[in-house]
Structure 1
Amino acid sequence: MTETPAKKTRRAEPIDKRTAKNGETSYHFMVDVGTKPDGSRDRPRFTYRTMTEARREYRRITSEVAAGTYIRPLDLTVDEACDEWIEGRRLRRQVTRNNYINHLLPARRFMGGRKLAQLTKADGDALVTWMLTQGRVDQRRKVDPDSLSSRVAAFVALHTEGVAAQAIQAEFPGQDIHNPLSALVRAGRVARTGRAVYAATETAAVERGVKPVTVRSTLTALSMMVQSYVDQGRLPRNVIALVERPADEIPEDDDAVDAAKSWTVAEIEQFRTAAEAHRLYACWLMSTYGMRRSEVLGMRWSRFSDAALKVRRGRVAVGTETEENLPKSRRSRRDLPPPAELAAALRALKKVQRTECLALGVAWSDDRLIAAHADGTPIRPEWYTDEFQRIAKAAGLRRIQLKGLRNTSVSLMLALGIPVHIVAAWHGHDPAMSLSVYSDTHADDLKAAGAALYQ
């Protein structure tokens, strides 16, 4: 009588054990998780070190596949994910793109080679600690080791007692060693110890951290990048959103407490008086009325009339170049009725520029930029900021940033009782920004508030 072979039973959990040549064991299984773009089965292999871990993951993965919530692990490093995210954003302004790139640089330096799907909150916390203690890049140390400067520095370091410039020149015949030496002295890598005698200095870079505001900018950009993959269904959650943002330190000295981001009425009047003789007085008035630097530098005569200054474009610095583009936001596009003094100053500047064009033999065009030098070349954003500081310093005013004029404009309008939605509309931003970011309180405001409380 022929025996019937025993029927092979199907395993409830098809997990196989594998023993490698070195004796290490692992456990693996394969699961259908969907279909590939070409229509074939997507059946990846999952491998774990223990049977317990393999069983737990098999149950989790099959349950998620059945529920339609399974997310295949993302096989991208942080560097690759940053590149893909930036490339996929349709950014109108190059300066915005550059800002994202710069904000992500610390994260890429610290964990660029890590798999994005393997990041944890602890990794985000470690990034914050590293940035606050060691994250600053010393630009003076970013040198090419094969450059002439580096080779000169290495030669000088060989002579502990110092070496004469003549000997250095003999070591590098036919090459100008004076400019590299001057650069090395400015960078602190070489010291001039005597007449034409140079010695090496301590070149070890001092580890320093960055400010909390820089850390917050990096975390914001990194969290936006990670969240985009969560929204695509390629990551289960955004662990960077769980990282606590560092707060700014509270200063203890009186000078730091008194430091403000805007001027008082008396100080702004003092600045306006000091700038009155300046050729670009009309531009400084536009700044004191709260216009952004990009809006002042992007304003053309064709958009000015006694009825309105039409904010339609902006000019910003992008590296060593400038970019003229649409305003920062939809709210930034606005028509501002210029006050009488501003309209008069603009008409006076227009007359001056017409005279300059006539003297240079250049045809006048209303498409010309208002913020331009006498020869018609556009004002560089950096020059405009530096010139503001020169005027303020000559007038003996407290140092604030150029954007402090915008803060001043918002604060003074709010102090005059102008409704916040009108203040926001004038400055081209959200009303919440007027109160939380741009407004500033001065001692006189606090004094008046206290005096009026029980009167």
Structure 2
Amino acid sequence: MARQQLPPQIRKVEITDRRTGKPVPRYQVTVDAGEVDGKRKQRRKRFTTEREARGFLSETQAAVSAGTYVQTSKTTVDRACADWLASKHKLKPSTLRGHKTKLQAVRDVLGEVEVQALTKRHVDDLVTALSAGKVDGRAKWSPRSINYMLGLLSNVLGDQQKQGNLVRNVASLVDRRASEPKKFRTLTDAEIFKILDHDCRERHLWALALYGMRRGEIAGLRWENVDFKTGEVTVAENRVAVGREAIVGTPKSKASSRTLPMPQEVVTALKAEKLQQKRDRLALGSECSESSVHTKWDYVASDEGGEPLTPTTISFRWGKMLREIGIDHVRLHDARHSCATLMHLRGVPIAVIAAWLGHSSAAFTMATYAHSQDDALRAAGTSFR
């Protein structure tokens, strides 16, 4: 049988063996690898045998024809993460900061690995190290943090896939870590009334928190959005902690922009604070002229000098207040959980609770915010007698 002629994409060449100095045959493949950014690309590679060369040519042509061929890329994991983060123009600063923090662990450990060389084993080993607290400069990561990181890395690699730089997303193949659901301690009726009755400068803030407002919504509430005639509070701004700064932005979601008809006790507390701020302003006299104060006294949550309180400061004062009145520590955000739970136990429809809290999903509200309390469980037990 006559020897099969080489296709035009394969050329037999001779190279010099570095060890022996003698010429040796090689089969050089030059194949059309498709178009990138409007330019035709070629792939060139040498093989020891004709069979290997023909196999590579056949596989490459089939992949190019099917649109699944991936161009050779030297993009590293660090570069891919940086590019993905830079493309997230619509994220809130606090969300973007969280993404950067979690991906930094990936960049520190795997940053120099080329994306096309990244394997599932690389990611599995990183997960194991983070879970055991064996990554330099980092404490042991919780399953929640691990899964957060894996989700972000999967998005980064998915973006590389869409750009034609990857065949598969290895992060999507890594098992997520099982975690226990977060346990919340909600405040009882007695504890809520104890907080509301406590005479302190921040009483109006705790009232807003216990009636379901987020910390960022409380920190961002301006007096112009409090209507004393109707007793309504409009959530129109959010101030969140990003590092050591307080960043002003829009509410957390579209559903979070809402107007709440507050109970009389909340309105009374707000009126008392408004009067106190007026006294503080008068006490400072000429130092607080309208032209020099800018945003001073604009916010419901302000200190004695009219400066808006940061979200971190509000949380600190919450903890201090709980210690003063002898209530075991709960997060400020758990006041919001308490509001949802008590509304649910008192028969308020879950859709109404979701709207009050600023959620777009009633199912999320039910699953995340409505918790049973010991008192409620005991009351339920009596219904079987």
Deviation at 1:10, TM superposition (A): 4.0
TM-score, length basis structure 1: 0.73
Deviation at 1:287, TM superposition (A): 0.9
Distance 1:356 1:219, change over 3 A: same
Q: Deviations over 1:6-53 (max 9, x none)?
A: 99944387275766424799765222122343x542112245687766
Partner of 1:144: none
Partner of 2:10: 14
The answer to whether the aligner puts 1:283 opposite 2:210 as a matched pair is: no
Deviation at 1:231, TM superposition (A): 3.4
Q: Distance in 2 between matches of 1:263 and 1:27?
A: 76
Partner of 2:152: 221
Deviation at 1:249, TM superposition (A): 5.9
Partner of 1:302: 224
Partner of 1:400: 330
226-235 or 378-387, larger mean C-alpha shift: 226-235
Aligned with 1:418 (options 348, 355, 371):
348
Partner of 2:300: 370
SS of residue paired to 1:32: strand
SS of residue paired to 2:255: coil
Partner of 2:130: 131
11-20 or 368-377, larger mean C-alpha shift: 11-20
Q: Do 1:82 and 1:225's aligned partners in 2 also have CA atoms closer than 8 Å?
A: yes
Partner of 1:115: 114
Partner of 1:30: 30
Q: Distance in 1 between matches of 2:47 and 2:341?
A: 61
Q: Do 1:216 and 1:245's aligned partners in 2 also have CA atoms closer than 8 Å?
A: yes
TM-score, length basis structure 2: 0.86
Q: Distance in 1 between matches of 2:377 and 2:11?
A: 72
Q: Deviations over 1:196-228 (max 9, x none)?
A: xxxxxxxxxxxx522222212211221222222
Deviation at 1:65, TM superposition (A): 1.1
SS of residue paired to 1:31: strand
Distance 1:436 1:110, change over 3 A: farther
Distance 1:15 1:350, change over 3 A: farther
The answer to whether the aligner puts 1:316 opposite 2:240 as a matched pair is: yes
Partner of 2:266: 342
SS of residue paired to 1:352: helix
Q: Distance in 2 between matches of 1:25 and 1:370?
A: 82
Q: Do 1:302 and 1:367's aligned partners in 2 also have CA atoms closer than 8 Å?
A: no
Q: Distance in 2 between matches of 1:26 and 1:294?
A: 67
Q: Do 1:295 and 1:315's aligned partners in 2 also have CA atoms closer than 8 Å?
A: yes
The amino acid across from 1:446 in the alignment is: L
Distance 1:245 1:9, change over 3 A: closer
Q: Deviations over 1:170-212 (max 9, x none)?
A: xxxxxxxxxxxxxxxxxxxxxxxxxxxxxxxxxxxxxx52222
Q: Deviations over 1:334-371 (max 9, x none)?
A: 11111211111111111111121112123578971110
Q: Distance in 2 between matches of 1:50 and 1:438?
A: 66
Partner of 1:60: 59
Distance 1:313 1:108, change over 3 A: same
Distance 1:21 1:371, change over 3 A: same
Distance 1:49 1:401, change over 3 A: farther
Aligned with 1:357 (options 269, 281, 297):
281
Q: Deviations over 1:91-121 (max 9, x none)?
A: 3522222111001111112211111222222
Q: CA RMSD in A?
A: 3.0
Deviation at 1:131, TM superposition (A): 0.4
SS of residue paired to 1:444: helix
Q: Distance in 1 between matches of 2:59 and 2:3?
A: 29
Q: Distance in 1 between matches of 2:51 and 2:324?
A: 75
Q: Distance in 1 between matches of 2:187 and 2:154?
A: 35
The amino acid across from 1:31 in the alignment is: V
Distance 1:106 1:433, change over 3 A: same
The answer to whether the aligner puts 1:265 opposite 2:196 as a matched pair is: no
Q: Distance in 2 between matches of 1:49 and 1:133?
A: 45
SS of residue paired to 1:104: helix
The amino acid across from 1:342 in the alignment is: V
Distance 1:357 1:73, change over 3 A: same
Aligned with 2:165 (options 214, 230, 234):
234
Q: Distance in 1 between matches of 2:305 and 2:44?
A: 70
Partner of 1:435: 366
Deviation at 1:54, TM superposition (A): 5.2
Deviation at 1:135, TM superposition (A): 4.5
SS of residue paired to 1:42: strand
Q: Do 1:298 and 1:314's aligned partners in 2 also have CA atoms closer than 8 Å?
A: yes
The amino acid across from 1:11 in the alignment is: P
Unaligned runs of 5+ in 1: 1-5, 140-207, 251-256
Q: Do 1:357 and 1:363's aligned partners in 2 also have CA atoms closer than 8 Å?
A: no
The amino acid across from 1:443 in the alignment is: D
Aligned with 1:389 (options 302, 306, 319):
319
Distance 1:121 1:363, change over 3 A: same
Q: Do 2:28 and 2:47's aligned partners in 1 also have CA atoms closer than 8 Å?
A: yes
Distance 1:424 1:62, change over 3 A: same
Distance 1:409 1:403, change over 3 A: same
The amino acid across from 1:110 in the alignment is: V
SS of residue paired to 1:399: coil
Q: Deviations over 1:239-293 (max 9, x none)?
A: 212211112369xxxxxx9x634222222223323xx311121111111112111
Q: Do 1:13 and 1:55's aligned partners in 2 also have CA atoms closer than 8 Å?
A: no
Q: Distance in 2 between matches of 1:215 and 1:104?
A: 10
SS of residue paired to 2:234: strand
